[in-house]
Chain A
Amino acid sequence: GENVEQHPSTLSVQEGDSAVIKCTYSDSASNYFPWYKQELGKRPQLIIDIRSNVGEKKDQRIAVTLNKTAKHFSLHITETQPEDSAVYFCAARETSGSRLTFGEGTQLTVNP
């Protein structure tokens, strides 16, 4: 089955700096890669996703890049703000669509 590894487990940045979180996956058949943000005590919520036929996707201050050959994808947050502080999860979904495998999560702290 799919295995997703996520790094780093914790990340601390100054407000206004950029943050990058990286994930690798094992199953070359995976074709959908979402990123979720989970604030303390709340449910995970989708912030951006990318399909395997796309190399990069951007939505305002957040972007995701995908390298299918290397089987890794990354989340980029620019101009970070304190409200970006949360746990971020990457995930990969198999082609069959039945399984979504998550990384272990990254605790991002943005210091004012």
Chain B
Amino acid sequence: EAQVTQNPRYLITVTGKKLTVTCSQNMNHEYMSWYRQDPGLGLRQIYYSMNVEVTDKGDVPEGYKVSRKEKRNFPLILESPSPNQTSLYFCASRPAGSFYEQYFGPGTRLTVT
């Protein structure tokens, strides 16, 4: 089954404790992105990757890191999480080209206390 997976789905952590949210897709998509969703703000792009070893900042990259060492994986790293990073996070992927549908993962709800 073609899908985007994320782990963990739910995470409660404390300020400053490094964490990684994994994202994997099995559709051989070139593009992958991370979004955060907050009430009233829609979906805001954190980072995106156009292919292996090619990443760029989105609209809200501060406090986040990413890597794209393999085509299928695009982990999101929070080196020192803070309470303002409490949010719902979505990973997404799509083929290269402007007109292709973007597929979202199931989401990761992160709470930083």
The chain A residues found within 8 Å of chain B, CB to CB, are: 1, 6, 9, 31-32, 34, 42-46, 49, 51, 89, 91, 93-105
Q: How far is the CA of A102 from the CA of B104 in the complex (A)?
A: 14
Contacts of A100 in B (CB 8 A): 33, 45, 102
A32-B98, A97-B31 given; 16 more Cβ-contact pairs under 8 Å: A34-B102, A42-B106, A43-B90, A43-B105, A44-B43, A44-B104, A46-B101, A51-B99, A89-B43, A94-B98, A97-B96, A97-B98, A98-B48, A99-B58, A104-B42, A105-B40
**Interface positions of B from 85 to 108, Cβ below 8 Å from A:** 90, 96-99, 101-102, 104-107
Question: Which 7 interchain pairs have the tightest Cβ spacing?
Answer: A97-B98, A43-B104, A102-B43, A104-B42, A102-B42, A46-B101, A105-B42
Q: Say which residue of A89, A96, A98 sits within 8 Å of B42 (CB atoms).
A: A89
Shortest B51–chain A CB gap in Å is 11
Contacts of A105 in B (CB 8 A): 40, 42
Which of A32, A95, A99, A100 is most buried by chain B, counting CB atoms within 10 A of its CB? A100
Q: How far is the CA of A99 from the CA of B47 in the complex (A)?
A: 10
Q: Is the CB of B56 within 8 A of A102?
A: no
Contacts of A102 in B (CB 8 A): 35, 42-44
Q: Is the CB of A99 within 8 A of B45?
A: yes
Known A32-B98, A98-B48, A98-B56; judge A103-B104 contact (CB<8 A). Answer: no
B1 is an interface residue with CB less than 8 A from chain A: no
Q: How far is the CA of A93 from the CA of B99 in the complex (A)?
A: 9
B41 is an interface residue with CB less than 8 A from chain A: yes
